Amino acid sequence: MLAAQPQTDVNRLAAIGYCFGGTTALELGRSGAALKAVVGFHSGLGSAKPAMSGAIKAKVLVNIGADDPIIPPEQRAAFETEMNDVGADWRMILYGGVGHSFTNPDVGALGRPGFAYDAAADRRSWAAMIELFGEVF
């Protein structure tokens, strides 16, 4: 476990991830892990095991393309309700006209509708994470 390593400052832990990795980071936050921040980039927002009230200790940031075919508005609304219901300190940034995998410059090679790199959203989402880290660390 990372927190058990002598080089780790256990007061400065965060989890971030992209796509499924972001979904996993959110699940870690939902579990009540001792993290300062959880960040997802075009991550799924649903959960088979929603958080319990007060469980999320981390500040939560999700960066989502408004036109992401994997994360429809209903999933965003359910996430918002869950985060509010459990008292999480959360934020969701929606990037207009942006689809899934917007941080991956090579995603266009897949030829999948709704999957496209967006340099501005990539840059802005990274800056949002850095801003959050400045707040919690």
Digit-coded pLDDT (tens) for 87-113: 999 999 999 999 999 999 999 999 999
Output the pLDDT for position 19: 97
Q: Check if the beta carbon of residue 36 is closer than 8 Å to that of residue 14.
A: yes
pLDDT value at 132 more than 80? yes
Q: Quote the pLDDT of residue 4.
A: 87
Q: What is the pTM of this model?
A: 0.95
The DSSP element (H or E) to which 61 belongs, if any, is: strand 59-65
Distance CA 124, CA 92 (A): 13
**Which single residue is written with the structure tokens 């959203």?**
121
Residue 110, phi then psi, degrees to nearest 5: -70, -25
pLDDT above 80 for 1:
no
Mean pLDDT of the chain: 96
Question: 120 in helix, strand or coil?
Answer: helix
* pLDDT tens sequence across 21-65: 999 999 999 999 999 999 999 999 999 989 999 999 999 999 999
